[in-house]
Structure 1
Amino acid sequence: MTVLLFRIFLLLALAIITYSVIKYLTDSRRRLERARRRGEMYVYDDPREVRRNLLITSGGALFEGEKYLGTAETSVEVTSIQLQTEDTVELNGMTLQDFHQIEKELQLRYPKAVIQWREPTAGMIRRLRRKQEAADTAPPTDA
């Protein structure tokens, strides 16, 4: 009888360990941190839960987005997303294309939403746009 109870306990412990490992490997927060370390893009968001902020990482920077509800044509949907970052040092090395990629990804998920960047990220995007426009309008140099 004791051996049977021990075997049941052992199987139960093995099942709990297996469940814990699977939950750990499929955890979205862990995936977000891994993508952040690797400099990849990942969106941590629950589209069904509007009150929860979304987290998005790209180029090693982590952005937090606040979703706001509004009326869009005949339904109530997310009509505005405001993005910000806590650490501006993480923005070092990001290009205008990185910010456009983030906006495209959010537009795919929330097509009726207006994406707004908060300071200091908005100022950095303005500087990058001016820099790109200046490079586009500058005459080619002959060497």
Structure 2
Amino acid sequence: MIVLLFRILILVALALLVYTWIQYFRNPQRRLRIAKETNEFYFLDEPDNNKKNIQFVYKGCLFQGEKYVGATEYSFEVVDIHVVVDDSLELKGLTRDDLYFLENEILLRYPHAKIEWKHPINQLLLTSIE
């Protein structure tokens, strides 16, 4: 009887281990961290949850955007997105074209949104093109 109980416990432990392993590899925060380390673009968002902020990584820089819901012509949609960067030193090497690419990616997902870049990102957009 005790041997059978130990076998059942071992099977439960293996099932729990496999479940934990699958959850680890499906974790979006892990994917975001990997994209930051490899300087890739990754966009993390829950489109159905308007209270959850968006996060995206581009060229090793982590951006966060706060979504604000408002009324459009026919429905309530995300109408404002305020984008900030946690570490301004990560912005080194980003160009205005990179910011236009990021803005385009956000507008693909939220076409009614007005994107507001917070300091120091907005300083790059305000400078004149030479």
User: Distance in 2 between the 1:24 and 1:125 partners?
Assistant: 38
TM-score w.r.t. length of structure 1: 0.87
Whether 1:126 aligns to 2:120 is: no
Q: Identity over the aligned pairs, expressed in percent?
A: 40
Tell me the CA shift for residue 124 of structure 1: 2.1
Structure 2 unmatched runs, 5+: none
Report Cα offsets for 1:11-63 as digits up to 9, x if no partner.
10000000000000010000001101111111111111111111111011111
Stretches (4+) displaced over 3 A: none
- 2:90 equivalent in structure 1: 90
- 2:51 equivalent in structure 1: 51
User: Distance in 1 between the 2:53 and 2:110 partners?
Assistant: 13
RMSD (Å) for aligned C-alpha atoms:
1.0
Tell me the CA shift for residue 82 of structure 1: 0.8
TM-score w.r.t. length of structure 2: 0.95
From the CA coordinates, give the structure whose radius of gyration is larger. Answer: 1
Aligned length: 130
Structure 1 unmatched runs, 5+: 135-143
